Amino acid sequence: AQSVTQLGSHVSVSEGALVLLRCNYSSSVPPYLFWYVQYPNQGLQLLLKYTSAATLVKGINGFEAEFKKSETSFHLTKPSAHMSDAAEYFCAVSDERNTGFQKLVFGTGTRLLVSP
Amino acid sequence: DAMVIQNPRYQVTQFGKPVTLSCSQTLNHNVMYWYQQKSSQAPKLLFHYYDKDFNNEADTPDNFQSRRPNTSFCFLDIRSPGLGDAAMYLCATSRGSHGSYEQYFGPGTRLTVT
């Protein structure tokens, strides 16, 4: 069964600094991978997805992630943090390749704190 | 804009008093999901509908039920809420066709049980 590990329940950065949120996956087949962001008392918003096309995936709000099969990783980065990036970030994996139903398995989340 | 709508955003119910949460979508997606998210935890899938086909997760308590009267609407019924059912409930949709991968989430309903 697939799983996702997010290292670090909290990550703190200064405004303007590099953001790096770590995600490692486990899957018996090539997976689909996702990063979602959740602001307080809100639903989840898709930041970006990997679906076996380009290994470097660009998303919204300046975020990007690189799929590295050799490291089973899909880390999320942003060159320069903004105060508005403060939120909870979830990495998720799905390996449902032949059906229309995508069961997402979420990591435990990483709270990004951005200080002025 | 096409979207997933959840009402109400905040719901307070009493211990043991049935409660219904609603979700509607204008995306015309085939699949609708219900997730439970407790504080500082990841969302946990309760069940999903693929069109009219209902699929329950193995560990979803019997206390939780769902209805999907048409493509646009899906309801979550909690028959006898306990204090442990206090959580954010998230509805999501997806197209349901091969090659469509992402789920679209509503803003959630925060349930408080008193």
pLDDT in tens, A79-109: 999 999 999 999 999 866 556 677 888 999 9
What is the reported pLDDT for B89? 96
CB pairs below 8 Å between A and B: how many? 66
pLDDT in tens, B45-80: 999 999 999 999 999 999 999 999 999 999 999 999
CA distances (Å), origin B82, targets A114, B35, B59, B72, B114: 36, 17, 17, 29, 9
Residues of B within 8 A of A32 (CB-CB) are 101
pLDDT tops 70 at residue B101:
no
The residue of chain A nearest to residue B4, with distances taken between CA atoms, is A43
CA distances (Å), origin B29, targets A51, A99, B34, B65: 20, 14, 14, 21
What is the reported pLDDT for B98? 66
Q: Please confirm whether the linkage preceding A79 is cis (ω < 30° from 0).
A: no
Instruction: Determine whether the interchain pair B41/A101 forms a contact, defined as Cβ–Cβ distance below 8 Å.
Output: no
* CA Rg value for chain B: 13
* Assigned token pair, A84: 């508005």
Q: What number is the average pLDDT over the span A12-39?
A: 92
Using a CB–CB cut-off of 8 Å, the residues of B that contact A are: 4, 6, 9, 30-31, 40-43, 45, 48, 50, 55, 88, 90, 92, 94-98, 100-108, 110
Q: How close A17 comes to chain B (CA, Å)?
A: 25
- The whole-chain average pLDDT of chain B stands at 92
Instruction: Determine whether the interchain pair B42/A103 forms a contact, defined as Cβ–Cβ distance below 8 Å.
Output: no
